Amino acid sequence: MADLTYTPPKVWTWDQPNGGEFAAINRPTAGARFERELPRGDHPFQLYSLGTPNGQKVTIMLEELLAAGYAAEYDAWLISISDSDQFSSGFVDINPNSKIPALLDVSGPEPVRVFESGSILFHLAEKFGTFLPASGSARTECMNWLMWQMSTAPMIGGGFGHFYAYAPEKYQYPIDRYTMETKRILDVADKRLAETRYLAGDEYSIADMAAYGWFGGLVRGDAYGDASTFLDVGSYTNLVRWGEELGEREPVRRGRIVNRNGEGFVRERHTAADIDAVLNV
């Protein structure tokens, strides 16, 4: 039997691709890899994103704002990770970390760049004064759960999702390690949602939008292949109740199909009609 153990060198160097679905784009260095400006539309918010769990958070928020009557019109431009769009000079100018989503707020006298999904949600909630309590313990509780979600995403996506669905070979140790942590995270959410209707309390908030991007796919059964069965997501009944309730919201239905390729999705969004045409509204 082959020896699968690994002895790390004293100083690590990058001398070969690491394998897996995203091996071609992974490097241990930051910064732009080529010069290209980003497109710009006519609306106050320019979103450069992809409809991954993190990307869905922001399009859901923008659709919720529009549904509530706020002036939150936006252009959503697709950033193809597989084509390395996130390493263009224009994108790196908005997000030096080269990760989606990235937002350019051009509603004021000077453009404001906003990167990291949680920061974008907070920026929009503050700007429009909604989906985030104004002050006190309720506001703190909402921020608690927003930051909790931000801390759990790497465990679910970069940990469980990678080793379960994307790694070039499957090994028990990393799958068991991150499955255990993902199930613990699901249990945290399930226990919380046994106490309250939404994560931050009785009011729907940016904490729910952030978490739905990740938990929604598991509740629907369309994340990481058969991961919902593997994780026994149906046993987390409070989480399932919450996920199904959010999934029925029209802005959530609209937001989660933006910046995705294929039938039933919207590659770019520039007007409400782009989504209407897909949902047959």
Residue 1 pLDDT: 46
Residues in the chain, how many?
281
The two three-digit tokens of residue 131, written as one number: 């989906």
| C-beta separation of 239 from 215 below 8 A | yes
Ranges assigned E (strand) in the chain: 45-49, 74-78, 102-105, 112-115
pTM of the model as a whole: 0.95
DSSP string covering 97-156: T--S-EEEE-SSSS-EEEESHHHHHHHHHHHHT-SS-SSHHHHHHHHHHHHHHHHHHIII
| Residue 18, pLDDT score | 67
Contacts of residue 204, Cβ cutoff 8 Å, sequence gap at least 6: 131, 198
pLDDT in tens, the chain (281 residues): 456 788 999 999 988 766 666 667 888 999 999 999 999 999 999 999 999 999 999 999 999 999 999 999 999 999 999 999 999 999 999 999 999 999 999 999 999 999 999 999 999 999 999 999 999 999 999 999 999 999 999 999 999 999 999 999 999 999 999 999 999 999 999 999 999 999 999 999 999 999 999 999 999 999 999 999 999 999 999 999 999 999 999 999 999 999 999 999 999 999 999 999 999 86
Which of 77, 50, 204 is CA-nearest to residue 142?
A: 204
Cα 19 vs. chain centroid, distance in angstroms? 23
Q: Is the dihedral of CA 188, 244, 57, 138 positive or negative?
A: negative
